């Protein structure tokens, strides 16, 4: 356990919203959706799409997030299905963070519905156990935003993350300093963040399912089985070791957008138009975050639910709609050439993100020897400003203006 110079142990909390998308959907329509117990957010009542979040009532029927809406409705036929209220979710997430920033000195947004807090050094200020602080923060968030949260806490980010799962829904679970190993011993290996299905299966083949069962395996054997880097990582994770810090300036790792169509798309033209809309969305988010991307990924889910993807990493980072669309369109063409069938979902993801440079200061129509890339970047930033002022549909590419 890491200590600071005064010998104090870290005090880290993870604030995790309970069924966040469900809560926001209910807040947006309190007299309608707000009174529904069996609620699915994501997809459509016809069964297309996937579940983004399910109410706790629906979860009792076996419904889970990322499940196809059709399967969810087979398990819970009486459920009500509504779309994801994305704008409202973004606004509510901002409200939660603003509230937390009045309660903790360091706040990091881990996702739209998860926030890490670093309370180290606040022991004298609050003069209360960490568990009491967590309950007080939970109550304050609920009062300020009407959103219920669960809070996990401990000396490390990973411990706080795992503890928050124990606290759901609407509770608090704190792992005291010195009890990390005992806490980890009671978990399945699959519960450790970063241990995915493939690694879980490899461990299972060696008779290892519980953390307690794997603790007796020497690090040398883990490195032989899974490689030196992954073996060392797993050895440390099983013991609750995590050196990552709560950083309010931690950069985004990816930006993505996807769309499930109400009716399968069959033509290249329709898919390219949908792709352009997605590229428009992700590059706007990219520029707003003052970032550029080097890796573009296109995801395609066929009508028979087969999911495929292609990625490309470019030499120079991109931020413009046109350049990103140019790469994405080629990736889509590659996917279509390998399997021409109807498509039910299309997605675009941007990774390998880095800080964007400052824009050169020059007139839009000056006859100067400027690179096409720089001129495109400037034009996109001008369009961003117009969209912020007059609405998202103020300026649209001609190809999608009829949508």
Residues with catalytic roles = 114
Classify the C-alpha dihedral 56-115-51-403 as positive or negative: positive
- What dihedral do alpha carbons 37, 42, 43, 45 form, nearest 10°? 20
d(CA 191, CA 210): 9
The secondary structure of 200-267 as a DSSP string is HHHHHHTT--BHHHHTTS-HHHHHHHH-HHHHHHHHHHHTT-------TTPPP--EEEEEEEEEEE-S
Angle at 313 between CA 308 and CA 318, to 5 degrees: 110
d(CA 91, CA 87): 6
d(CA 346, CA 65): 18
Neighbours of 203 (CB within 10 A): 23
d(CA 122, CA 105): 8
Angle at 87 between CA 86 and CA 89, to 5 degrees: 65
d(CA 118, CA 12): 5
What are phi and psi for residue 366, nearest 5 degrees? -75, 145
């Amino acid at each position: 356990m890491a200590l600071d110079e005064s010998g104090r142990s870290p005090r880290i909390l993870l604030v995790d919203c309970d069924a966040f998308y469900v809560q926001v959907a209910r807040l947006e329509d309190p007299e309608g959706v707000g009174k529904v117990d069996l609620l699915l957010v994501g997809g459509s009542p016809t069964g297309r799409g996937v579940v983004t979040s399910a109410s706790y009532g629906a979860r009792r029927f076996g419904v889970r997030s990322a499940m196809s809406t059709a399967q969810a409705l087979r398990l819970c036929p009486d459920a009500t299905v509504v779309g994801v209220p994305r704008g409202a979710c973004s606004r509510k997430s901002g409200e939660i963070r603003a509230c937390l920033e009045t309660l903790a000195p360091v706040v990091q947004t881990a996702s739209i519905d998860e926030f890490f807090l670093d309370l180290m050094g606040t022991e004298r200020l609050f003069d209360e156990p960490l568990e009491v602080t967590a309950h007080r923060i939970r109550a304050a968030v609920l009062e300020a935003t009407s959103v219920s949260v669960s809070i996990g806490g401990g000396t490390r980010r990973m411990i706080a993350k795992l503890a928050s799962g124990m606290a759901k829904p609407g509770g608090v679970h704190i792992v005291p300093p010195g009890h990390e190993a005992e806490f980890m011993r009671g978990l399945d290996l699959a519960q450790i963040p970063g241990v995915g299905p493939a690694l879980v299966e490899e461990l299972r083949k060696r008779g290892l399912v519980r953390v307690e069962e794997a603790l007796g395996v020497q690090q040398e054997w883990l490195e032989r089985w899974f490689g030196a880097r992954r073996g060392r990582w797993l050895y440390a994770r099983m013991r609750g070791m995590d050196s990552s810090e709560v950083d309010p300036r931690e950069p985004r790792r990816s930006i993505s957008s996807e769309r499930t169509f109400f009716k399968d798309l069959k033509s290249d033209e329709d898919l390219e138009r949908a792709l352009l809309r997605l590229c428009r969305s992700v590059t706007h988010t990219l520029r707003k975050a003052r970032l550029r991307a080097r890796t573009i990924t296109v995801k395609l889910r066929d009508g028979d639910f087969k999911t495929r993807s292609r990625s490309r990493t470019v030499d120079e980072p991109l931020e413009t709609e046109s350049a990103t669309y140019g790469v994405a369109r080629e990736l889509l063409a590659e996917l279509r050439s390998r399997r021409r069938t109807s498509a039910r979902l299309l997605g675009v993801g941007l990774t390998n993100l880095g800080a964007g440079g400052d824009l050169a200061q020059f007139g839009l129509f000056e006859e100067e020897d400027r690179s096409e890339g720089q001129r495109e970047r400037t034009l996109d930033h001008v369009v961003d400003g117009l969209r912020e002022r007059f609405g998202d549909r103020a300026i649209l590419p001609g190809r999608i203006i009829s949508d």
